[in-house]
Amino acid sequence: MSPRLTLSTTARVLGQLRHDRRSVGLLIGAPLLLLTLIYFMFEKNGATLDRVLLIMLGVFPFLLMFLVTSIAMLRERTSGTLERLFTTPLGKLDLLFAYGLAFGLAATVQAIVATTVAYWLLDLDTAGNGALVVLIAVGNALLGVGLGLLCSAFARTEFQAVQFLPIVVLPQILLSGLFVPRAEMAGWLEGVSTAMPLAHGVEALQQVGASVDATADLWRGYGVVMGCVVLALVLAASTLRRRTA
Amino acid sequence: MKTAIDVQDLVVARGGKEVLHGLCARVPHGGITGLLGPSGSGKTTLMRSIVGVQRVKSGRVTVLGEAAGTPSLRRKVGYFTQSPSVYTDMTVRENVRYFASFYGLGAAAADETIKEVGLQEQAGQIVRTLSGGQHNRASLACALVSRPELLILDEPTVGLDPVLREELWAHFRQLAADGATLVVSSHVMDEANRCDRLILIREGAVVADDTPDAIKKQAGTDDLDRAFLTLVQEKAEVA
């Protein structure tokens, strides 16, 4: 890996994003719109509103970044630029970490805007600090980036890539504790949800909601998410083939 | 004569079909070697094998003394793909600067190369909005920017007008004069006459590998198109 090549690739990905104003607008605007929708859905029930808003602040970045990254990586493959990059000194990990850095940065902006709006306009109330919410939301976004890159290695077309959404993303959201608290799930189901990285990110967010100080459980959840991010990136690098048929 | 590329018994299958059947070829160091053959003859597959992105079944490809695909070669070999592969949502300048950054080269080198391919006026334009020929040249600039020792160019002049084609060939000549080795594929025989050596391939096998003059002499004609046909027929009769 070369930090110089990673950074120049990060700058390139961000440059592409900069040229695509509409995507940036959607990336920042879509979560706000959906959070507002949730606000009106649960307006009358403050406790539920806080719980759902908090979880969604962690789920949206995961979902959106998964989509954006798998399509971006696939575009790289179908346009022939990926094959071309493979004939240059750029390493696979340089490329993947550059995507992680670039979209992680985009996710940070997204999370700051969404969290600020949630606290100031949508009456979100947590015991813990809002900065922790942003930190965890960015971790979840990176998880989306990592899994998106990994899945795109198994997709040859955009058509295949979007099929990974219902398989990889939806189960994680269903079992994250959003609909049913994980402790109330059947034993085996709770086991399955423990194996899902997103559940740990949601767990960490719920810790921010319940405790004034950052708890050990919070850091454990965040640590699991970040560990999975690195694992997904390394796996993605090992499944990316320089030589193709 | 030093060898830049040595291909031995190369067998490659793509999409379940064998494309190269034990192909052997040698490209000398320096000068321009033309890789000619009809579409579907295996030119691109051979070039992909040389730059190390093609999965090969058997055989050996040695490039500048090392096995094709060796990491150290990635600094020495430039590759221009047949369909232009640049980022269409970025400007020409951003693209070329990005590729320059892989070799520790800065903005000056990128701007210089953009000028060489005649895109200085389009440098700030998003690639998507360029014409086909300009798009092609933007992609070519990305391959040229690192001044590689070996340039693999897959049909670089397709879709270019005669004036531009002339300019690019003059540029290729200059690069060769400066010591680079170029492998240029084409299915236009008129371009073959501009090469120092020719490798004619057909259906995944080499039909002829010599200088244009020697090939014409061997076939007893002054016309390369005719020479190609004659050699193919002779080969078919032998087989």
What amino acid is encoded at B92 in this protein? V
Mean model confidence pLDDT for chain B: 91
Please tell me the distance in Å from A206's CA to the nearest CA on chain B: 40
DSSP code string of chain B:
--EEEEEEEEEEEETTEEEEEEEEEEEESSEEEEEE--TTSSHHHHHHHHHT-B--SEEEEEETTEETT-GGGGGTEEEE-SS--S-TTSBHHHHHHHHHHTTT--HHHHHHHHHHTT-GGGTTSBGGGS-HHHHHHHHHHHHHTT--SEEEEESTTTT--HHHHHHHHHHHHHHHHTT-EEEEEES-HHHHTT-SEEEEEETTEEEEEE-HHHHHHHHT-S-HHHHHHHHHHHHHHH-
Contacts of B103 in chain A (CB under 8 A): 89
| Inter-CA distances, A118 with A103, A209, B217, Å | 22, 13, 81
User: Average pLDDT, stretch B160-169?
Assistant: 87
User: Chains A, B: CB contacts under 8 A, how many?
Assistant: 74
Looking at CA atoms only, how far is residue B216 from chain A in angstroms?
35
Q: What is the pLDDT of residue B239?
A: 59
pLDDT above 70: percentage of residues in chain B: 99
**What is the pLDDT, as a whole number, of residue B198?**
94
Residues of B in contact with A81 (CB under 8 A): 85-87
Looking at the partner chain, which of B56, B74, B88 has a beta carbon nearest the beta carbon of A87? Answer: B74
Contact between A138 and A12 (Cβ < 8 Å):
no
pTM: 0.91
Give me the helix-helix angle, B92-101 and B132-144, nearest 10°.
Answer: 20
Task: With beta carbons less than 8 A apart as the criterion, state whether B155 and B82 touch.
Answer: yes
Q: How confident is the model at residue B1 (pLDDT cuts 50, 70, 90)?
A: low
Check B90 against A16: CB less than 8 A apart.
Answer: yes
Determine the Cα–Cα distance for residues A85 and B53; give it in Å rounded to an integer: 10
On average, the pLDDT of chain A sits at 93
Average pLDDT over residues A125-144: 95
In chain A, residues with a C-beta closer than 8 Å to the C-beta of B83 are: 80
* Closest Cα in chain A to B75: A89
Q: How confident is the model at residue A111 (pLDDT cuts 50, 70, 90)?
A: very high
Is A206 a residue whose pLDDT tops 90?
yes
For B69-109, write each residue's pLDDT tens digit: 999 999 999 999 988 899 999 999 999 999 999 999 999 99
Q: Using one digit for the tens of pLDDT, what is the confidence trace for B188-239?
A: 878 888 999 999 999 999 999 999 999 989 888 888 888 888 888 887 776 5
> What is the full DSSP assignment across chain A?
--HHHHHHHHHHHHHHHHH-HHHHHHHHHHHHHHHHHHHHHSTT-HHHHHHHHHHHHHHHHHHHHHHHHHHHHHHHHHTSHHHHHTTSS--HHHHHHHHHHHHHHHHHHHHHHHHHHHHHTS----SS-HHHHHHHHHHHHHHHHHHHHHHHTT-SSHHHHHHHIIIIIHHHHIIIIISS-GGGS-HHHHHHHHTSHHHHHHHHHHHHHH-SSPPHHHHHHHHHHHHHHHHHHHHHHHH--SSB-
Q: Look at B54 and A243 and tell me if their CB atoms are within 8 Å.
A: yes
Structure-block tokens of residue A101: 């850095």
- pLDDT digit string (tens) for A80-103? 999 999 999 999 999 999 999 999
pLDDT in tens, A138-182: 999 999 999 999 998 888 888 888 899 999 999 999 999 888 888
Domain boundaries, chain A: 3-239
Residue B124 has what pLDDT? 96
Nearest to A244 among B53, B74, B78 (CB): B53
Please give the pLDDT value at position A165: 92
pLDDT of residue B187: 79
Contact assignment for A89 to B71 by CB distance below 8 Å: yes
Question: What is the predicted ipTM?
Answer: 0.90
Residue of chain B minimizing CA distance to A76? B87
Minimal Cβ distance to A90: which of B54, B79, B102: B102
Provide, rounded to the nearest whole percent, the portion of chain A with pLDDT above 90. Answer: 79
Identify the pLDDT of residue A182: 87
Provide the terminal-to-terminal Cα distance of chain A, rounded to the nearest Å. 26
Gap from A154 CA to chain B (nearest CA, Å): 17
Distance from CA of B234 to the nearest CA of A (A): 32
Q: Which residues of A touch B89 (CB under 8 A)?
A: 16, 19-20
